[in-house]
Structure 1
Amino acid sequence: MPLQITGAPGDPALLSLPWHLPLEDWPEHLIVPLPRGISRHVVRFVKLSGKVYAIKEIGERLARREYQRLRDLARIDFPSVRAVAVVTGRTADDGRELDSALVTHHLQFSLPYRAVFSGTLRPDTITRLLDALAVLLVRLHLTGFYWGDCSLSNTLFRRDAGAFAAYLVDAETGEQHPTISEGQRLHDIEVAHVNIFGELLDLEAGGALHPSIDPLETSEEICRRYTALWNELTQPEVVDIVEWRRVDKRIRRLNELGFDVAELQVRSKPGVARVIVQPKVVDAGHHQRRLLRLTGLDVEENQARRLLNDLDTFRARLPAHERSDSEEIVAHRWLAEMFHPTVEAVPKELRHKLEPAQLYHEVLDHRWFLSEAAGHDVGLPAATRSYVENVLAFKRDEKAIIGDPGWDDAASSA
């Protein structure tokens, strides 16, 4: 059987690679020394025409299956490596048949878990990376994809504009269905639990795991986080058009789980709207940078998170034809229609009590509590008036507090 390359390789140099040699015997000058995870198969990286490809030696049936699964995921823009080609009909010089090869694009700036999970990594950062894996598994299941072998070894981690993201690497056991069954989903979780526990034990034995990380507790926590996120995202949420306090409540629950809203969608029909949220895991400072880029407001991280949540909710409330405007346009409208009017509604003699971002944040909190008590959204103007009259008027002046020797005592008794 002649050598065949099936797919859309795009680079003629792939044809010139020594496919007649087992992958482990390829000459060193072809190999790019990038960190590799643990794999049941031989994997090598090569650089051709300025691009890096990952090549995995695998049986033909599995190679074709994984190629198709990765193509399926690429069609829905799922975070996974991108398949390039399947190479079959490989024959050694002595006539021996060689395994087929799966060629994928190397995911730039990504690292396998052994290169990420080291003793130098802070425990809270490890937790966020594992959260990223929980998000990946939830997103797979929402698309109807059964992984069958969820593990750290089959995942790549990457920083992307401040966000931590997990990418699926190995899909040879995957199955695509219209929807995933409860049995498949629960089995995936159990496989993830067992695999991750074993991998963390292996890191611990090699002295590469931070001493504060307990392998069993961490592997169980991933499953708990997955379950909480799955329940939060799949719970039906149909709200009246005016009940945006329930949208805010949904975002708050995700924030309490440690996730942020990467995307908020609204599918409407007369009188009702279905709210869909897409979570992501973010690194420190992400919200500050995004808010500064969009609005010019330079605020603290927690303030930025709250303001961005309000901006995303504002966007979701726009008519469909305006919702597709760029982030910058929507952010400008939010400043003009929400943020600035709220700040300017405060009497001048009270504006010095709080900085504008903190003021807006506290008005949003006040609106939340008023709406919960009333059972409906009271609206931002009413909440602003109530906040000014019942809260802000009795606050101490922040500028006067600075350097006040009695402030520490007052703060500790507050």
Structure 2
Amino acid sequence: MALELTAARPDPALLDLPWRVPLEEWPEDILAALPRGISRHVVRFVRLSGRVLAIKEIKDDIARREYEMLRNLGRLHLPAVEPFAVVSGRVDRDGEPLDACLVTRHLQFSLPYRALYSQSLRKGTATRLIDALAVLLVRLHLAGFWWGDVSLSNTLFRRDAGAFAAYLVDAETGELRERLSDGQREHDLDIARVNIAGELMDLEAGGLLQEERDPVEVSERIVTRYRELWATLTDEETIDDSERWRVDDRIRRLNAVGFDVDELEITTDIDGTSIRLQPKVVDAGHHSRRLLRLTGLDVRENQARRLLNDLDAFTAGTGRQGDDEEIVAHDWLNRIYEPVTRRVPRELTGKLEPAEVFHEVLEHRWYLAERAQHDIPIEEAIDDYVASVLPAKPDERAVLGVDTAEMPVIDLRPGR
């Protein structure tokens, strides 16, 4: 059998990897020590051509299907890992066939949920992770993607200004359709609720769950948060003709949860007494797109919201509310954001992304000001943050020496 490589932009260096060796036996010197989540399959990370790749050993047909599914999700601009290649036709040194491998790009600064719980986290982490997963699930469902195996284990999380942003990492069971039925969406929700309860019970049994609430009760939040967000995005609303301001209010509420409205369906009664309003096309990333347009910074939604708030404060503080927005944003970028993020020493840049550092500096500045009972210059805040806070944080670009796949697991899910 000949080794076969399928990739949109193939890297010849892939051929140098030991494909004739089962993945679990690959030598340590070619592996990247990154945290692995729980998986039904063997997963390893390797450094190749200046990038980190995740390699999953899986059946050939499943690998190809998942590769194409991840490519389709990428075309729809949905939060998911980026597929890199499928390697098939593998045989060992005795000529025995080996499973194919799905290769994806490692998502920088992302962590599986168990790696997050191996750190010291503040109270409420479980609910913030579930909130992020609810947003991800709504986005996937709006695009017609049925996941089929929703769980914290099949998700990667990146910090997003005190919250988290969630990314799909396993599309093995997923299906992409033109539109999902209510039954399909509810099925995904039920899978999520059961899986999350089991995962939180597992953390509780290992003494890692820093919550006082019942894991089953916490897992129910995925249903509540999902339905709240789904209703905000899709429900038809009837308003009185004299309350047309509520049309703009509905758009503002959608923007507040991070979604843009490209089209509205507005229907008036024959006598003009009421208006039926329903969003037709919604898209996530309202604040991040605005920040990208103004400054060129490409960050996640909550980070963008926080940076835009600081930009608004800068605009008001310099008395430039009537000036061109893009010019003021350029000045803020040069005078505030970039000087702050550049003050992070090179050896600490792998701790957090620049936008997350800026968010934490703003938080730190507030605490310093509250303690001192007067305003603190941002230069003083960043220097104190770099000296007293940032060095103690784990390196989230690559958390070395933490392999969550080797942490004890108690699978409490029914039928497992």
TM-score (norm 1): 0.66
Does 1:56 find its partner at 2:52?
A: no
In structure 1, give the amino acid aligned to 2:84. Answer: V
Instruction: Give deviations 1:233-272, integer Å, cap 9, x for gaps.
Output: 11135888993433325645x7xxxx94323224268999
Classify the secondary structure of the residue corresponding to 1:232.
helix
Residue in structure 2 matched with residue 328 of structure 1 by the alignment: 326
Residues 8-407 of structure 1 aligned to structure 2 (within 5 Å): 8-118=8-118, 120-160=120-160, 164-236=164-236, 243-249=244-250, 251-252=252-253, 260-267=256-263, 275=279, 278=283, 287-293=305-311, 296-297=314-315, 328=326
1:222: how far off? 1.4
Instruction: Give deviations 1:177-219, integer Å, cap 9, x for gaps.
Output: 0011222111111111111000000000000101424201110
Distance 1:118 1:155, change over 3 A: same
In structure 1, give the amino acid aligned to 2:71. Answer: R
Instruction: Give deviations 1:302-324, integer Å, cap 9, x for gaps.
Output: xxxxxxxxx9xxxxxxxxxxxxx
1:290: how far off? 1.6
Instruction: Give deviations 1:34-81, integer Å, cap 9, x for gaps.
Output: 000000000000001110000000001110111111011010111000
Distance 1:260 1:132, change over 3 A: farther
Classify the secondary structure of the residue corresponding to 1:123.
coil
1:129: how far off? 2.1
In 2, the alpha carbon distance for the partners of 1:172 and 1:42 equals: 14
Distance 1:277 1:199, change over 3 A: same
1:10: how far off? 3.4
Instruction: Give deviations 1:373-402, integer Å, cap 9, x for gaps.
Output: xxxxxxxxxxxxxxxxxxxxxxxxxxxxx9
In structure 1, give the amino acid aligned to 2:58. Answer: I
1:92: how far off? 0.4
Structure 1: give runs of 5+ residues left out of the alignment: 300-310, 312-325, 333-401, 403-414
In structure 2, give the amino acid aligned to 1:328. Answer: E
In 2, the alpha carbon distance for the partners of 1:150 and 1:288 equals: 29
* 223-232 or 102-111: bigger deviation: 223-232
Distance 1:2 1:266, change over 3 A: closer
Residue in structure 1 matched with residue 336 of structure 2 by the alignment: none
1:286: how far off? 6.2
Distance 1:270 1:130, change over 3 A: closer
Classify the secondary structure of the residue corresponding to 1:47.
strand
TM-score (norm 2): 0.65
In structure 2, give the amino acid aligned to 1:293. Answer: L
Distance 1:179 1:270, change over 3 A: closer
Higher RCO structure, 1 or 2 (CA under 8 Å, sep 6+) = 2
In structure 2, give the amino acid aligned to 1:262. Answer: G
In 1, the alpha carbon distance for the partners of 2:68 and 2:98 equals: 21
Say how many residue pairs are matched: 303
1:123: how far off? 2.5
Residue in structure 2 matched with residue 302 of structure 1 by the alignment: none
In structure 1, give the amino acid aligned to 2:199. Answer: E
Could you tell me the percent identity over the aligned residues? 56
Classify the secondary structure of the residue corresponding to 1:57.
strand
In 1, the alpha carbon distance for the partners of 2:306 and 2:99 equals: 50
Classify the secondary structure of the residue corresponding to 2:91.
coil
When Rg is computed on C-alpha atoms for both structures, the one with the higher figure is: 1
Classify the secondary structure of the residue corresponding to 2:92.
coil
1:118: how far off? 4.8
